[in-house]
Amino acid sequence: MKKKMLGAAAVAATFALALTGCTTDSGSTDSSGDEPIAINVGYIDTSINGVGIIAVANDQDLWNKAGLDVNLVPFTNGPTQIQAMASGSLDVGYIGGGAMWMPASGQGTVITPNESTFGDFLIASPESGATDMADLKGLKIGVPDGGSGEMILALALEEAGLTEADIERIPLDPPSVVSAFVAGQIDVAAIFSPLSDQIFESVPDAEIIANNRDFPETEFLGAWVASNDAAADKSEALTRFLEVWIQANDYRISDTEDTVALSAALSGAPADQLQSQADGLEWWTSDQILADNADGSTFERFGAFTQLFVEVGRLTTDEAAAPEDFINIDLFAAAKDNLK
């Protein structure tokens, strides 16, 4: 079995996979004697939600046991993975909540929810005098366009009875939100972990104005998403991938400390940052996901999240698909059944 660590490069709208790591050969067939199935798997290598699954699967040789010849492709974000799927160079990958509008608009197929995060914040500077959401009026707020910071801001404004006309919205890329806040150029940062940790390290008396926990009716969800082509034509490969995911998911819940250590060793990301991410989210056991898929809870979660994208203008009502149209729960059920 060959495991190839890959990098991703974007040239215009075309994405190509480039072999960057070592190759180990553990045979041309899996343990059942069948030929392994090839699959290209993407993940965010600085996210415990992405790299954690990959690190555990590698450590426990789960790819080989599932009969997969896997190409592992590290990315820095979700949207570039969706673009790679559209180009045909990626079969499945992990995306966080900020990119979930893309499968919700028909650009991919969710094959399993991954997490609900509590790692999004509105953080006010001590000089601003803001202590709650109602104090946002008239303040300069730095926010990355198209991400979860944009959504936590929208929820906070709605809760306070305000609109974007009541604030000075300053669009910035995520690292610039941090630097602008520390330099005193903005009053409030709409940002996510681990960048929020950087703010508190520099400005320890900064005030949390809002967090995901303030809005329990709307969960910020990450997921593993397959290309629409793979969902249509590679069901066996995706089912085997989910067999790997199920085992790695349940392991990371039972031994998060080891998962963080394995992830840091694989990606080079600091272990304390990965642990901080893990502390600010909820993972569901595979049994719970199966039950949630069956009783409709998964569809309800993603339906509420999709509606938030409509409210912030990321999607129109016509563009937003029903959860049943962009989530495939049958593949997960088949994978669970295969593992019995």
| Residues in the chain where the model's pLDDT stays below 70 | 1-33
Per DSSP, the three-state class of 205 is: coil
102 to each of 70, 174, 217, how far by Cα in Å? 24, 20, 21
Comparing C-alpha atoms, which of 276, 283, 267, 277 is closest to residue 46?
Answer: 267
Mind spelling out the 3-state secondary structure of 226-251?
Answer: ECHHHHHHCHHHHHHHHHHHHHHHHH
- How far apart are the C-alpha atoms of 54 and 74, rounded to whole Å? 10
Q: pLDDT tens-digit profile of 234-259?
A: 999 999 999 999 999 999 999 999 99
Tens digits of per-residue pLDDT, 38-63? Answer: 999 999 999 999 999 999 999 999 99
Looking at residue 29, its pLDDT comes to: 47
Question: pLDDT, tens digit, for every residue of 269-281?
Answer: 999 999 999 999 9
Q: In what helix (H) or strand (E) does residue 313 lie, and over which residues does it extend?
A: none
Q: What is the pLDDT of residues 308-336, one digit of tens each?
A: 899 888 899 999 999 999 999 999 999 99
Residue 235 burial by CB count (10 A; 0-12/13-18/19+): exposed, middle or buried?
Answer: middle
pLDDT at position 195: 86
* φ, ψ (nearest 5 deg) of residue 110: -70, 125
Q: Could you give the count of Cα atoms lying within 13 Å of 327 in the half-sphere of its Cβ?
A: 28
Q: Tell me the pTM.
A: 0.84
- Tell me the H-state helices in 203-322: 228-233, 235-254, 256-267, 271-279, 286-295, 297-311
Instruction: Please report the pLDDT score of residue 33 as a whole number.
Output: 53
Res 34: pLDDT: 73
Which pLDDT belongs to residue 22? Answer: 32
* Assigned token pair, 53: 């699954």
Spell 300-332 as b/e; 16+ CB within 10 A means b: ebbbebbebbbebebbeeeebbebeebbbbebb
> What is the separation of C-alpha 163 from the centre of its chain, rounded to a whole number of angstroms?
27
CA–CA gap between residue 292 and residue 290 (Å, rounded): 6
User: Which pLDDT does position 230 carry in this prediction?
Assistant: 98
